[in-house]
């Protein structure tokens, strides 16, 4: 069993703010009222069937918002967005700096992309849907130096990438073994950071290096468990971080994640790079310069189930039960969207 270490709220907030790319991070602006910053993008589906993304921002200031879930191939996808798209005005990047300027054609500061590769971790490291939907509008106002109410002209096209939960969980465990903790993530929900009682840490010290799989599995506060479901759900509907392990809470969180996923303009699957690329191009009417690569030689893939105990395998399934249900749902929804895309393309082909 892991030893649990409680860190004071002021420590968490302080280290978080220091870790953000923008030193001028404005917590008051971040904690804006939900009803003021969650317009129509969260209540309807944005797909290529009913909405056309406009990178020029002629009528609406359309913005692609990338929710980057850990260990889903999101870093690679994010690099595709900033550097691999055929654009009239490519993102301007500087050597050694992760974030690029991805402004619209004809504008110097209006952003068409909101991700760590364009605006840094502006809403916190690996911010989830709950954080992003409350943070993105005000952060864009800040970056673009726009006047009040201008955000009403924006439309937000949420995108993400999902991964088969067993491999994703193992990949996160290995990443933590190598020194990653994402300790500086905010986990902002309902305008507050979780208290130390709501969200303790699973380890002592600054890192959880060399943690065993059994120890990783045994911590009830490990956010690696059901991470995809939690990061796509509206956590304000389940009391934020106060009862994530409760059975009823998990069920509500899963339904919320499914609902939000349906409303995402686009999501891809790490295991299906070809269709992920094609679906993105069809949805946003943007083309990539180079095709996506399907990589199966991941670190997690090298861990064979035969090398794990029966208890470890069952433990991974048990603590990620909602993620497995969400992934099954996402895979079916993905197939539907791909099938619809191919049907539309077939109709447009010359006879």
Residue carrying the six token digits 């399907």: 294
Reply yes or no on whether 126 is catalytic: yes
C-alpha 200/C-alpha 11 separation (Å) is 13
Q: Catalytic residue among 40, 68, 80, 126, which?
A: 126
Would you call 96 helix, strand, or coil by DSSP? coil
C-alpha 184/C-alpha 182 separation (Å) is 5
DSSP state of 64: E
- Token pair for 316: 């991974």
Q: Residue 264's closest CA among 251, 285, 283, 287?
A: 283
Strand pairing report for 154-162 and 113-114: unpaired
Residue carrying the six token digits 């791909």: 338
CA 225 from chain center: how many Å? 15
Look at the chain and count its residues: 351
Positions marked catalytic: 126
């Amino acid at each position: 069993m892991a030893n649990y270490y409680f860190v004071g709220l002021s420590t968490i907030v302080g280290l978080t703010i220091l870790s953000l790319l923008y030193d001028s991070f404005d917590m008051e602006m971040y904690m804006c009222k939900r009803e003021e910053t969650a317009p129509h993008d969260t209540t309807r589906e944005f797909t290529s069937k009913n909405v056309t993304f406009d990178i020029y921002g002629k009528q609406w200031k359309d913005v692609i918002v990338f929710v980057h879930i850990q260990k889903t191939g999101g870093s690679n996808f994010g690099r595709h967005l900033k550097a691999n798209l055929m654009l009239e005005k490519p993102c301007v990047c500087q050597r050694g700096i992760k974030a690029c300027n991805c402004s619209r054609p004809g504008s110097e500061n209006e952003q068409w992309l909101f991700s760590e590769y364009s605006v840094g971790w502006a809403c916190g490291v690996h911010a989830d849907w709950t954080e992003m939907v409350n943070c993105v509008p005000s952060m864009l106002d800040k970056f673009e130096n726009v006047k009040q109410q201008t955000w009403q002209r924006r439309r937000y096209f949420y995108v993400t990438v999902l991964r088969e939960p067993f491999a994703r969980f193992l990949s996160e465990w290995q990443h933590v073994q190598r020194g990653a903790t994402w300790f500086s993530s905010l986990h902002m929900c309902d305008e507050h950071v979780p208290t130390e009682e709501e969200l303790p840490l699973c380890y002592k010290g600054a890192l959880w290096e060399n943690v065993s799989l059994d120890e990783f599995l045994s911590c009830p506060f490990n956010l690696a468990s059901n991470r995809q479901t939690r990061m796509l759900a509206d956590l304000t509907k389940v009391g934020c971080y106060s009862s994530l392990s409760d059975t009823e809470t998990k069920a509500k969180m899963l339904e919320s994640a499914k609902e939000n996923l349906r409303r995402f303009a686009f999501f891809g699957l790490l295991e299906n790079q070809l269709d992920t690329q094609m679906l993105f191009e069809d949805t946003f009417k943007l083309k990539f310069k180079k095709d996506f690569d399907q990589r199966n030689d991941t670190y997690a893939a090298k861990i064979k189930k035969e090398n794990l105990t029966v208890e470890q395998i069952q433990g991974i399934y048990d603590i990620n039960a909602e993620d497995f249900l969400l992934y099954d749902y996402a895979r079916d929804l993905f197939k539907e969207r791909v099938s619809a895309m191919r049907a539309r393309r077939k109709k447009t082909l010359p006879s």
